[in-house]
Chain A
Amino acid sequence: MNAFFWILRKDLGVFFSDRKGAAMVIIVPLVLGAMMGLIFDPGGGTGKLDVIVVDDDHGAAVGDLVARLGAEPSLNVLPKTEAEAREAVTGGKTGVAIRFAPGTSPKLTPAALFASGDRDGLTLWVDPSRKTEADIVTGLLTKAMMESVFSAVGDPTQQQKMFQDLRAGLGADAAARPELAKFLEDGAGFAGENDARAKDPATAGSGGMALKPPLDVKTETLVAAGPTAGFQSYAHTFAGMLMQFLLFSASGQARNLYAERDAGTLDRLRMTRASKAQILLGSAASVGVVSLMATAVVFGVGMAFFGITLRSGPLAFFVVALGQAAFVGSFAILLAGLANSSKQLDAVATLLILALCFVSGAWVPTFMLPHALQSAGPLVPTRWLLDGMAGATWRGLGLGHALECAGVLFGFAVVFSGIAVKRFRWG
């Protein structure tokens, strides 16, 4: 046998020496595959997109429109007041809100379909980091409006037929009512003309009297920091990637603990006055300190070169960064406690980190997740972390929001540390 095969045998032998770890390495892709399948399965109860509806109109036409939106299988309509809607959108809880101002109902008439020039609008309040959701809502809203205003007379052919039928129905009375007859004939001619225009590739889509939704949908982005404060996509991506990196470096620290166990230094630490909790928490704190330094560098560069601003002030950002440090530090020792060897750690860490990143919305918008996962948001520390980071940076949600998010992260840190201290094995 040549050296190649000896190396192969050696490495396979080493790999399978930890049977549980080896089994986990093989099972984790299965679990991950199933997890991703669950997340992106279009058939199996995919997530509904939350949309807030503020009905300040209270008219019948708007009522009908809202009912149609509610019937959309991909929308989850949440009736709210204006104040609630603004808070939900600026706070990042809901991506889109539709507001029907008083007096909207009367404008939802077939006549409005033909109106040209300045048209009345309908406002969508949008979280600027969730424009995709706004686009989806705009499409569905337009569809609902069209359906609501006219159902049967959708296309010019139908309209022409409608006018012709009416004219025919007028019959002998036409001589007695020439204006009406002329109107119906003109209408039919006009509809026919429109039909021809619509079918002619040269003029297709060009204005004229083509039908339009009764109201223009105008989007307006809402940011707590103020009307001129826009979305900062770098603040969003930096926070997500930083979080991901920190979670991976936490798993590196868990690996260090196993290395120390193998090297005997862990036993040596146990011979000192240090308790198990002190050893593990100290180790977690080192991850926390590195996390704070990495955060300072990443956002420092982000502020200097990528236009990131701390719209809730440096203190709020620091509070969230502290929460993040506590969370990733405790995550390191949680991993060390849950796994029992480097190989098991590989499997457990990969699974947890990928799951935490996915569910956090760092990689895919959360509206794409199944509803169960979306509503599990409060149980997902990374969701709180990214919320806190967004609130402290581009959203500008203030110190209170930062304290809330950091508080929850500290709570997770306490629970994770407790589990770690209970579960960690020395040998």
Chain B
Amino acid sequence: MSIEIQDLHVRYGEQVAVSGLSLTVPEGSCFGLLGPNGAGKSSTIRCIATTQAPTSGTIRVGGKDVATEGAAVRALLGVVPQGLAVYDGLTVQQNLRIFGGLYGLEGAKLAERVKWGLELSQLGAHATKKAVELSGGMKRRLNIAAALLHDPKILIFDEPTAGVDPQSRNHIFETVRALHAEGRTVVYTTHYMEEVEALCDRVAIVDHGKLAACDALPALLARAAPTGFHVTLKAPAPLADVRARLEAAGFDLAEVAAEGRTLESAFLELTGRGLRDAS
């Protein structure tokens, strides 16, 4: 199930949001869509999702034209919106049941998928809480689960990790990886480069509504001039030793740093790796 975008234009009055974008998301890929704020990512996603009509251009999802076969396209897609679009007044479980029902699930199948959604979002313990009572990160996870109940073949995530703690982010990563590993096509939008590096095999960079680059991740990385080297030792050695021996070999060193010592690793060390709200 691939997505083919051809010469997409989106305008809001005078404002040009997307301007002649063409790209293909290959079936089974985990596709990173990168771009600065206002680059036109969300606009593009809304066009793919059929909730917005392109000003011009064509989009095919799994071979189906979004303009003429909207319903078929929607059945293939699971779109996790950038905003938290859940019903605050309803409980977690009610939210999932309603979206599942709207996706055409019923009876035992619906119950099973709601259960799956609760597991996926690790919100089982909060099933009867109203969405308004959830923390931002928990709500993000509900926002994701609500889009996936109908087991779509193509998943589109629009900044799914905005405003979540590292624990929730890791959980979301694992979710995306697992869903991708099961053979689904994934489109992932974010401003966090390390997320794309960690998750995606193919990346497009858009700017001012135009495609700046689109390639496999390693090929894209190869385009950037290296700013340094990363040396991995087979057996750990004291940092001072490594530095001394490299200097002895005649290298002019700018920095030699131990790996894995980041603020995030310290944070996770101190607060634990499990989801804070999972119990």
Binding site for B on A (CB under 8 A): 263-265, 267-274, 426-427
Contact = CB atoms under 8 A, between A and B. Distances in A.
Given A264-B85, A265-B86, A273-B104, 19 more contacts: A263-B83, A264-B81, A264-B83, A265-B85, A267-B81, A268-B81, A268-B147, A270-B50, A271-B49, A271-B50, A271-B77, A271-B147, A272-B74, A272-B102, A272-B103, A273-B71, A273-B103, A274-B102, A427-B51
A263 B89 CA distance: 13
Interface residues of B, number: 23
A268 to B, nearest CB: 5
A181 B264 CA distance: 130
Contacts of A427: 51-52
B172 interface: no
Contacts of B147: 268, 271
B87 interface: yes
Contacts, number: 46
Contacts of B103: 272-273
B157 interface: no
A352 B79 CA distance: 39
B63 to A, nearest CB: 19
Given A267-B51, A268-B146, A273 B85 contact: no
A305 B80 CA distance: 53
B102 A269 contact: yes
B160 to A, nearest CB: 14
B167 to A, nearest CB: 25
A74 to B, nearest CB: 54
A272 B110 CA distance: 14
B99 interface: yes
Interface in B218-258: none
Interface string B58-86: 00000000000001001101010101111
Interface in B139-157: 146-147, 150
A427 B53 CA distance: 11
A426 B147 CA distance: 19
A207 B71 CA distance: 87
11 contacts: A263-B85, A264-B85, A267-B49, A267-B81, A268-B81, A270-B50, A271-B147, A272-B74, A272-B102, A272-B103, A273-B102
A265 B87 contact: yes
Nearest to A268: B85
Nearest to B146: A268
A273 B49 CA distance: 13
A426 B51 contact: yes
A263 B86 CA distance: 8
Interface of B: 46, 49-52, 71, 74-75, 77, 79, 81, 83-87, 99, 102-104, 146-147, 150
B113 to A, nearest CB: 13
A264 B51 CA distance: 11
A281 B247 CA distance: 76
Nearest to A264: B85
Contacts of B74: 270-273
A74 B153 CA distance: 74
Contacts of B81: 264, 267-268
A295 to B, nearest CB: 24
B74 to A, nearest CB: 6
Contacts of A268: 81, 85, 99, 146-147
Nearest to B80: A268
Contact of A267 (B85, B86, B150): B85
Contacts of B75: 273
A271 B79 contact: yes
Nearest to A274: B102
A412 to B, nearest CB: 28
A274 B74 CA distance: 10
A272 to B, nearest CB: 4
A32 B264 CA distance: 63
Contacts of A263: 83, 85
B51 A271 contact: yes
Contact of B51 (A270, A273, A274): A270
Contacts of A272: 74, 99, 102-104, 150
A427 B84 CA distance: 17
A271 B100 CA distance: 12
B178 to A, nearest CB: 22
Contacts of A271: 49-51, 74, 77, 79, 147
Pairs of residues from A and B, 9 with the lowest C-beta to C-beta distance, nearest first:
A264-B85, A272-B102, A264-B83, A268-B85, A265-B85, A267-B51, A273-B104, A272-B103, A264-B81
A24 B86 CA distance: 32
Nearest to A267: B51
B2 to A, nearest CB: 19
Contacts of B86: 265
Contacts of B51: 267, 270-271, 426-427
B138 to A, nearest CB: 17
A271 B156 CA distance: 12
A270 B147 CA distance: 12
A269 B100 CA distance: 11
A267 B50 CA distance: 10
A270 B51 CA distance: 7
Nearest to B51: A267
Which of B50, B74, B77, B102 is the most central at the interface, judged by chain A CB atoms within 10 Å of its CB? Answer: B102
Which of B51, B52, B74, B84 is packed against the most chain A CB atoms within 10 Å? B51
A393 to B, nearest CB: 35
A426 B99 CA distance: 19
Contacts of B99: 268, 272
A107 to B, nearest CB: 72
Contacts of A269: 102
Contacts of B71: 273
